[in-house]
């Protein structure tokens, strides 16, 4: 029977088990414990591992098989979304309001397709990803209506792979505008794959699909 490995805060950042040791139930759970130091997070993403846990739980590390991904060229823009984006005239920026985007993603949300409550983005997580932003590893995309931040997303760049962590909307389709912009600029930024981590109906409607973990790891290499 497979069991997850428990990491101590002082363990080496390279101490993750092989991703093939991840559990089948719950699918993809690989390890627990450790910390969210920049070194450990960077090593995790390089290995196809990401943290995901709720307040009150230890840090939990995941590497699901298959992995939900979005190839930029496969991003699906429906007619209604295209019309909305044309009418909305959003202004898109990059890395100018990272902390605000993370804070907005952590706010409880209801009524949005595919939205999560945000409770898993703990204060510890916020601080950790802001450190990654200061190191130039994490990035945000902001969607503005006038001078008001209405949507966005943030994630971690590992070579040609951008791992999306969370997105938010304060206006209809604003988070889709952020993802559409990322998919559009991906080729010129040498981003070949957008890692969505876990599947949702919302992401599938935008063109994401499952990719065997072994193939995902090849993209990381």
For the chain, the average pLDDT equals 93
Mean pLDDT of 180-195: 97
Residue closest to 183 by CA, chosen among 67, 73, 69:
73
Checking if the pLDDT of 119 tops 70, the result is no
Checking if the pLDDT of 34 tops 80, the result is yes
Residue closest to 4 by CA, chosen among 77, 67, 57:
57
Handedness of CA 176, 178, 179, 180 (dihedral sign): positive
Checking if the pLDDT of 195 tops 90, the result is yes
What is the CATH T-level fold of the domain 5-65, as seen in this structure?
A: Alpha-Beta Plaits (3.30.70)
Mean pLDDT of 30-55: 96
Checking if the pLDDT of 148 tops 90, the result is yes
Q: The tokens of 49 are what?
A: 């591992």
In this prediction, residue 109 carries a pLDDT of: 63
In this prediction, residue 126 carries a pLDDT of: 96
Report how far residue 148's alpha carbon sits from residue 152's, in angstroms, rounded to the nearest whole number: 12
Checking if the pLDDT of 79 tops 60, the result is yes
Mean pLDDT of 62-66: 98
How many degrees, rounded to 5, is the angle at CA 171 between CA 168 and CA 172?
95
pLDDT band at 181; cut points 50, 70, 90: very high
Checking if the pLDDT of 1 tops 80, the result is no
Looking only at the bridges linking them, the beta strands covering 138-145 and 29-33 are: unpaired
Domain boundaries, the chain: 5-65, 68-220
Report how far residue 105's alpha carbon sits from residue 205's, in angstroms, rounded to the nearest whole number: 20
Mean pLDDT of 57-76: 97
Checking if the pLDDT of 210 tops 70, the result is yes
Mean pLDDT of 194-221: 96
Checking if the pLDDT of 114 tops 50, the result is no
Mean pLDDT of 73-86: 88
In this prediction, residue 102 carries a pLDDT of: 98
How many residues in the chain? Answer: 221
Of the candidate CATH numbers 3.40.190.10, 3.90.550.10, 3.20.20.80, 3.40.630.70, the domain formed by 68-220 belongs to: 3.40.630.70
Of all residues in the chain, the percent with pLDDT exceeding 90 is 82
- What phi and psi, each to the nearest 5 degrees, are found at residue 187? -60, -40
Tokens 């100018």 belong to: 96
Q: The tokens of 207 are what?
A: 């063109």
Checking if the pLDDT of 118 tops 80, the result is no
Mean pLDDT of 151-169: 97
pTM check: above 0.95: no
Distances (CA, A) of 104 to 98, 121, 168: 10, 10, 7
């Amino acid at each position: 029977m497979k069991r997850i490995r428990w990491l101590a805060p002082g363990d080496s950042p390279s101490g993750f088990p092989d991703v093939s040791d991840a559990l089948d139930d719950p699918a993809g759970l690989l390890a627990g414990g450790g910390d969210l130091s920049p070194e450990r997070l960077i090593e995790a993403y390089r290995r196809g591992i990401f943290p995901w846990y709720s307040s009150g739980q230890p840090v939990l590390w995941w590497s699901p098989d298959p992995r939900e991904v979005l190839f930029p060229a496969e991003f699906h823009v429906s007619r209604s979304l295209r019309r909305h984006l044309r009418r909305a005239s959003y202004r898109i920026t990059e890395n100018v309001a990272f902390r605000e985007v993370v804070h907005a993603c952590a706010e409880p949300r209801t009524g949005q397709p595919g939205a999560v409550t945000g409770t898993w983005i703990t204060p510890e997580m916020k601080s950790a990803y802001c450190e990654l932003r200061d190191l130039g590893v994490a990035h945000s995309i902001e969607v503005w209506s006038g001078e008001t931040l209405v949507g966005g997303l943030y994630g971690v760049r590992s070579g040609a792979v951008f791992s999306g962590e969370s997105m938010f909307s304060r206006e209809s389709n604003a988070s889709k505008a952020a993802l559409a912009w990322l998919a559009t600029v991906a080729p010129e930024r040498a981003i070949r794959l957008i890692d969505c981590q876990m599947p949702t109906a919302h992401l599938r409607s935008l063109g994401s699909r499952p990719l065997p973990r072994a193939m995902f790891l090849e993209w990381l290499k």
